[in-house]
């Protein structure tokens, strides 16, 4: 049995895969299975365990989908194979500042 390096939870919606290894290094080609098809994705940076890698091109302003749910918005274009993390996304969860703005609060 082969150990998975990356996992796409919701294959119909996710545009990122979760890294399941401590050994994903820049220029490594990793297999990612999406809808029964194995993609070979060349990563452009070291990616730590538990972080994300783009499996589709993501444009600035696009929603980042992980587990079939929105986890943030891209603040820059993200190419397939790029590390997806706080340096290139804006989180949308747990943002009290956004909730206050929506309610018209001047906090």
Burial class (CB in 10 A: 0-12, 13-18, 19+), 81: buried
Quick one: how far is CA 27 from the chain centroid? 18
State the pLDDT at residue 5.
95
State the pLDDT at residue 103.
60
State the pLDDT at residue 14.
97
Residues of the chain whose pLDDT is less than 50?
Answer: 107
CB 77 within 8 A of CB 59: yes
State the pLDDT at residue 37.
93
State the pLDDT at residue 92.
81
For the chain, domains (ranges, CATH) are 6-103 (2.30.130.110)
State the pLDDT at residue 3.
79
Using DSSP bridges, classify how beta strands 69-74 and 16-19 pair: parallel, antiparallel or unpaired.
unpaired
């Amino acid at each position: 049995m082969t150990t998975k390096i990356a996992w796409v939870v919701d294959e119909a919606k996710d545009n990122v895969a979760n890294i399941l290894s401590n050994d994903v290094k820049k220029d490594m080609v990793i297999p990612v299975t999406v809808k029964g098809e194995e993609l070979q994705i060349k990563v452009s940076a070291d990616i730590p365990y538990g972080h994300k890698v783009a499996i589709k091109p993501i444009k600035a302003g696009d929603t980042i989908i992980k587990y079939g749910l929105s986890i943030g918005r891209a603040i820059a274009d993200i190419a397939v194979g790029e590390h997806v993390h706080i340096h290139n996304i804006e989180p949308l969860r747990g943002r009290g500042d956004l909730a206050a703005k929506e309610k018209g609060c001047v906090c």
